[in-house]
Structure 1
Amino acid sequence: MSAVPALVVAGPGTNRDRDLSLALELAGADPTIVLASELAENPDLLDEARLVAVAGGFSYGDALGAGRMLALDLNVGVGDRLREFVATGRPVIGICNGFQVLTRTKLLPGALGHNAHGRFECRWVVLDPKPSSRCLWTKGIEQPIHCPIAHGEGRYVHPDPEALAEAGQIALTYRSTNPNGSVADIAGVCNADGNVLGLMPHPENFVVGRQHPHFSNGGGLDHLGLQLFRNGVAAAAEM
């Protein structure tokens, strides 16, 4: 099978684009990192891609709110084209700042606010994939996913989390410890069709064993985030 063409969308201040690109490459994709401004100048790049990933970091230094400026870039530059891309069923993922962008572009429900305790969080967490979710990215993943978080505005808010659960749109929840006060311990959600996923934690930072802080003791080796990306790439290959 030939590698799946993928776009990794970045902006000024993004700092996880190379990590995300590596994760997609290990999963079988052929990723290209592109600035949102470049995508606006050449929206036909979306026609050539089978998967879009919006990288994490602190785009525009979180000016005016995390993800707001990058979301504006995408909405103004390629908003309609991106919505068409999503409507075809092709996979889209937004991680951390990328999740904030996807909620601000209304490709995902809810919003992200400041952490409940008012502090920046940087630690490893454990995520539980929800079997009831429609999300193609988490489909069939039965083991918890270990990965780090690094955010100050990661508290997921939604007026009706029960409705989200009933619709199968809660993809991932925090296990044991909710680091930011997200409603219903939600770490990641998908759209109604299940092809768009947003999450605050960084699975792209645990795709090989040596990335785990307890690697030397054999820690976390069964809980790689790579399967999530394999699912997305496999779905894209069928498009």
Structure 2
Amino acid sequence: MTIGVVTFPGSLDDGDAARAVRVAGGDAVRLWHGDADLRGVDAVVLPGGFSYGDYLRCGAIARFAPIMEPLIRAAHGGMPVLGICNGFQVLCEAHLLPGALVRNDHRKFVCRDQRLRIENASTAWTSSYQKDQEIVIPLKNGEGGYVADEATLDRLETDGRVVARYLDVNPNGSYRDIAGVTNERGNVVGLMPHPEHAVEELTGPGTDGLGFFASVLESLVAA
């Protein structure tokens, strides 16, 4: 199975995401933001970084990149898409996920190993986990506070669309400690922490992040 990893100007973690795909057993294909072509991939990762310098708002310009037109169509058609950190911001700007990501409530950049609880283990990107499983993966953001109106938050809770929640500490002021959400179909997931930095014992706090990439490969095989 082939997973495409998009590179925008300012992407930082595209190489790490591609490596995570390979560690999980998949084939990684690099996709360029300026090409309106998904090159036949089976799923897509929008990586972390500062796409287009985070001008206007984080993800606001990347949402209009040529690659996003076929990606949005594919996502609506059921293709698995994972947005990590800046990628999460892009997915919200593209209205593939509800809500928005805003500046951390303490106005400081945060970088730490973060404990999470997996709340939805039925998405294309989380099926390798158990519901309520606790994991530790790195977090690094300056504008990672997830916000939405109360009606949207209630709907996400009721429909089980909160994918992951912060434990121990809320690092950025995200409403209801939300670290990640999914769309109604479960194929599109946005996550503020970085699972791609926790796929090998040597380079991360452990391998807790590997399940996101293993999950999508398993879901594609089962499809």
User: One fold, TM greater than 0.5?
Assistant: yes
The TM-score, its normalising length taken from structure 2, stands at 0.92
- Structure 1 residue 136 corresponds to structure 2 residue 124: yes
Q: Which moved more, 1:156-165 or 1:139-148?
A: 139-148
- Structure 1 residue 149 corresponds to structure 2 residue 139: yes
Q: Does the 8 A contact of 1:112 with 1:156 survive in 2? A: yes
Q: Relative to 1, partners in 2 of residues 1:155 and 1:44: Cα closer, same or farther, differing over 3 Å? A: closer
| Counterpart selection for 2:174 from 179, 182, 185 | 182
Identity of aligned residues (%): 39
Q: Relative to 1, partners in 2 of residues 1:197 and 1:44: Cα closer, same or farther, differing over 3 Å? A: closer
Q: Secondary structure at the match of 1:210?
A: coil
Which protein is bigger by CA-based radius of gyration? 1
The TM-score, its normalising length taken from structure 1, stands at 0.86
Q: Does the 8 A contact of 1:134 with 1:190 survive in 2? A: no
Q: Does the 8 A contact of 1:116 with 1:180 survive in 2? A: yes
| Counterpart selection for 2:214 from 230, 234, 237 | 230
Structure 2: how far apart are the matches of 1:134 and 1:141? 9
Deviation at 1:81, TM superposition (A): 2.4
- Structure 1 residue 207 corresponds to structure 2 residue 195: no
1:130-154 per-position Cα deviation (integer Å, ceiling 9, x unaligned): 04x6423122513322111111110
| Counterpart selection for 1:23 from 1, 20, 39 | 20
Structure 2: how far apart are the matches of 1:20 and 1:135? 19
Structure 1: how far apart are the matches of 2:57 and 2:32? 19
In the alignment, what sits opposite 1:159?
A: 149
Deviation at 1:86, TM superposition (A): 1.4
Q: Relative to 1, partners in 2 of residues 1:58 and 1:79: Cα closer, same or farther, differing over 3 Å? A: closer
Q: Look up the equivalent residue of 2:81 and give its one-letter code.
A: V
Q: Secondary structure at the match of 1:188?
A: strand
Q: Look up the equivalent residue of 1:177 and give its one-letter code.
A: V
1:126-178 per-position Cα deviation (integer Å, ceiling 9, x unaligned): 110004x6423122513322111111110000113121011111000001110
Q: Does the 8 A contact of 2:4 with 2:43 survive in 1? A: yes
What are the within-5 Å matches in structure 2 for residues 31-70 of structure 1? 31-37=28-34, 39-40=35-36, 43=37, 45=39, 48-70=40-62
Q: Does the 8 A contact of 2:29 with 2:41 survive in 1? A: no
Q: Which moved more, 1:55-64 or 1:96-105?
A: 55-64
1:71-112 per-position Cα deviation (integer Å, ceiling 9, x unaligned): 121xxx244422331133221100000000000001111110
When you count helix as a share of all residues, which structure comes out higher? 1
Q: Relative to 1, partners in 2 of residues 1:68 and 1:101: Cα closer, same or farther, differing over 3 Å? A: same
Structure 2: how far apart are the matches of 1:232 and 1:94? 13
RMSD: 1.6
Q: Does the 8 A contact of 1:10 with 1:34 survive in 2? A: yes
Q: Relative to 1, partners in 2 of residues 1:44 and 1:224: Cα closer, same or farther, differing over 3 Å? A: closer
In the alignment, what sits opposite 1:192?
A: 184
Aligned length: 219
Structure 2: how far apart are the matches of 1:149 and 1:171? 16
Q: Does the 8 A contact of 2:9 with 2:51 survive in 1? A: yes
Structure 1: how far apart are the matches of 2:22 and 2:175? 33
